[in-house]
Structure 1
Amino acid sequence: MRPYDAFLLMSFGGPEKNDDVIPFLENVTRGRGIPRERLAEVGEHYFLFDGVSPINQQCRDLVAAIRADFDAHGVDLPVYWGNRNWDPYLADTVRQMVKDGVRRVVALATSAYSSYSSHRQYLEDIDRARAEVGPDAPEIDLIRPYFDHPGFVDALVDHTRAALDRLPADLRGEARLLYSAHSIPMAMARASGDPRADHGPGGAYAAQLAEVARLVTERLGGGHDYEVVYQSRSGPPSQPWLEPDINDRLEELAADGVRAVAVVPHGFVSDHMEVKYDLDVEAAQTARKLGIHLVRAHAPGTHPAFVAMVRHLVAERAESPVPRTGLSRLTPAGHTCGPDCCRIR
């Protein structure tokens, strides 16, 4: 795995007790002028779970799984973890790397797709953390978006099949697959990916989501109707975001006589708060009200194929001049983004 001497898992971060919730949300929304009353409203989602976001423990579990996989395959890289918005903060992790003598790092973000918030912002996080630490900070190379890597797709296939098996037998075959991802503003969506490529009005982000939905459905045998829906919208009604919202779509499907759906959170790496609240609480309540049987698949998490994918991507970045593992024509052409890739104008 040379030229690297460490691996870094980068994530969003989340609170782990009630007192953390508002300070965490202030970190997330800093500079956006969002009133404290709105933060308190969003904080209610976390208070339902005693202020604990699942994401930090899921990162701990993933770090442990990556370490075990590296050890089992002779990969001699220490594994670090740093967050954007909560402890362990990325800059603190980079400081620890300096103390440990680390000089060059390969990093993976817990987001598989191309957009400002899911890829470019992690590059900005790296630059900010290195600047804060100073001239001794190690070089950090971020692994490219990996949405169509077999390890990501196959983990979703297994979890979706398991979810379908939880439906009543007489509804299983007719269940519609709703692939759900975090909605983003249309301005951000249009800017996602290489600006020289035409990915349609939703940009590379929406195109990649559609491609993963197709890949997973095909691997399941192709017997289910499917579509991409969105969740977790947070902007004002006047600002267009990617649609349809999952709750609105459930209303329409019920009117069309659909009796069962399997929701696949293919836009996410782990079952964090947006999955636990927006799908397991809000969408589940909507489905019950409409008389629809709803099951939810797990995100990749620590599925063995996903964990092995991390090792494969580290090797790819270390050994190959171009990405070599992808299941679609949308696989990134290079390891690094262009200067204007995913930049919101």
Structure 2
Amino acid sequence: MTDSPAAANNSTPAKIGLMVLSFGGPNKAEDVVPFLENVTRGRGIPRHRLEKVGEHYFAMGGKSPINEQNLELIANIEAELARRGADIPVYFGNRNWEPYVEDTLLRMTRDGITQVYVFATSAWGGYSGCRQYHEDVARARAAVEKAGLQPPTVERLPHFHDNPTFIAQFATAVEAAVAELPEHARETADLVFTAHSVPNVADDEAGPHKFGGNLYSQQVLDSARLIQQSTRFADRPGSAATEGWTGQLASGKKVGGRPDGPATTGVPAGIDMGSGTDLDVEMVWQSRSGSPHTPWLEPDVCDHIEARAAAGNTRAIVLCPVGFITDHMEVKWDLDTEAKEAAEEAGVPYVRTATPGLTPEFAAMVVDNLAALIRRPEVLAPSEGLSEQQEAARAIVARYGTVPNFGNTVNGSPCAPGCCGAER
């Protein structure tokens, strides 16, 4: 189909396969603790503590929705590939639960795949969202070698935090969520963004050294701003933005991140995007874990909702889970349970927007990104063009986007020497 880097001097064309690579999750109650042992491998966390951590899994029957959601995403990608007449098989691999990435790559090798492309279900840079997927690839290739086979060349698709389709799908979800609010609450509602928190030290190390750190939080901030500018909330940050992450960061509070980030994240846009401007966003974080003594990105979404209400701000909240592509456990539990309860107790109208990962448009985005790497339309045709909303989002990205994407590496290599704390 197309020549891989390893087969550049080989006249035999490579056989291409796509792997959807994700975090993984338990499928039943008995899986919860073993799954968490995989997640926390090497940290020495006792079993009784893992059982405590797993309570939200047990509360939902011990089953994470993530695996079935990834299978649905794969089905959507397969349908899009078939629509374009592309004969490219799609496989499923996980880091922390079955099907493990090592087993999947071994299966692909035995199926004769010599060029593997990997779509990691994370839009972001940073250790857990990017570099750890590279480590997964390297570990899987080593497992294939240990089995006495020649591992395929494995190339990861890049980050997609500012892809016009990604932005447009979230923007559509925001508009749909507003319509779910009581009519009297819509006009004054606030758009609030949330993403998975990470330790400050991990965010400080995120990205190649040339970027200067904090790639994860800056990409999340960039996405949030682009989504906001693609909706009715354009030029209208939430009324509690100064109490959100960027506002607290600008005031010198220890909430993690780069103080200059909102304005100087990459390519200068020639527009003031800092705290207190019309292009600010109301950004919060969620799902932190580990020692309470370790600083993580703040404020927490539930703490923020409670603080808004305590200050007398009971405007409706449209919560956009920008950090997630599907409604897995951190969305179902942390937002649809805990954050919703916090809003109800505070007397605040609350609605959570849908995530984009299971839409046909998202699958088409994945296939487009794959086609851009293959670069052979006779193997995989590019898309037929963007919709009107996607074109509008592309214009927004061109005007306001300031943060680069990385992630496109081969055979598990880091994006750059020292990237995300990798050894130089």
- Structure 1 residue 86 and structure 2 residue 141: aligned? no
In 2, distance between residues paired with 1:238 and 1:42?
17
Post-superposition offset of 1:330: 1.6
In the alignment, what sits opposite 2:56? 45
- The residue number in structure 2 matching 1:251 is 306
Name the residue aligned to 1:105. Answer: 116
Going from structure 1 to structure 2, the CA distance change for 1:66 and 1:334 (only over 3 Å counts) comes to closer
CA contact (8 A) 2:92 2:104 kept: yes
CA contact (8 A) 1:317 1:335 kept: no
**Counterpart of 2:318 in 1: which secondary structure?**
strand
Question: Runs of 5+ in structure 2 lacking a partner?
Answer: 4-14, 239-280, 377-393, 410-414
Using the aligned pairs only, state the percent identity.
44
Query: Which position in structure 2 is the counterpart of 1:236?
Result: 291
Aligned 1:48-87 pairs, distance under 5 A? 48-87=59-98
Question: Under a length normalisation based on structure 1, what TM-score does the superposition of the two structures give?
Answer: 0.94
Which residue identity lines up with residue 405 of structure 2 in the other structure? P
Query: How far 1:197 sits from its partner (Å)?
Result: 1.9
The match for 1:13 is 24
SS at match of 2:405: coil
Rg comparison, structure with higher value: 2
Instruction: Give a deviation string over 1:286-337, Cα, whole Å, max 9, x none.
Output: 11111111111121121122111101110122229xxxx9752323268331
Deviations 1:152-181 (A, max 9, x none): 111111111111111111111211111111
Deviation at 1:342, TM superposition (A): 1.5
| Structural mapping, 1:1-345, within 5 Å | 2-3=2-3, 5-134=16-145, 135-198=149-212, 203-221=214-232, 222=234, 223=236, 225=238, 226-254=281-309, 255-319=311-375, 327=398, 328-332=401-405, 335-336=408-409, 337-343=415-421
Distance 1:236 1:96 in 2: 38
Q: 2:119 is paired with a residue of what secondary structure?
A: strand
**Quick one: distance in 1 between partners of 2:340 and 2:422?**
34
Which amino acid letter does the alignment assign opposite residue 121 of structure 1? Q
Counterparts of 2:224 and 2:174, CA distance in 1: 11
The amino acid of 2:2's aligned partner reads R
Q: Which 5+ residue runs of structure 1 have no aligned equivalent?
A: none
The 3-state SS of whatever aligns with 2:93 is: strand
- What's the RMSD between the two structures over aligned residues? 1.8
Runs of 4+ in 1 over 4 A off after TM superposition: none
Q: Give the match's secondary structure for 1:165.
A: helix
Following the alignment from structure 1 to structure 2, what is the Cα–Cα distance between the partners of residues 33 and 156?
A: 38
8 Å Cα contact 1:174-1:224 kept in structure 2: no
Cα distance change of structure 1 residues 333 and 285 upon mapping to structure 2, 3 Å threshold: closer
Cα distance in structure 2, aligned partners of 1:97 and 1:173:
52
2:157–2:407 contact (8 Å) kept in structure 1: no
Which amino acid counterpart does residue 331 of structure 1 have in structure 2? P
CA 1:333–1:95: 2 relative to 1, 3 Å: closer
Separation in 2, partners of 1:154, 1:24: 34
Shift of 1:94: 0.9
CA distance in 1 between partners of 2:111 and 2:78 (Å): 17
Which residue is equivalent to 2:383? none
**Secondary structure of 2:211's match?**
coil
Query: Aligned pair in 2 of structure 1 residues 33, 115: CA closer, same or farther (>3 Å)?
Result: same
Aligned-pair CA distance for 1:23: 0.8
Does 304-313 or 119-128 show the bigger shift? 304-313
Displacement after TM superposition at 1:9 (Å): 0.3
Q: What letter matches 2:28 in structure 1?
A: K
Which letter maps to 1:247? C
Q: What CA distance in whole angstroms lies between the structure 2 residues aligned with 1:22 and 1:12?
A: 15
Deviation at 1:25, TM superposition (A): 0.7
- Mapped contact 2:159–2:407 kept (Cα < 8 A): no
SS of residue paired to 1:295: strand
Aligned 8 A contact 2:208 2:417 in 1:
no
Contact 1:173 1:224 in 2 (8 A): no
**Is the 1:106–1:140 Cα contact (8 Å) retained in structure 2?**
yes
Q: How many residues align?
A: 338
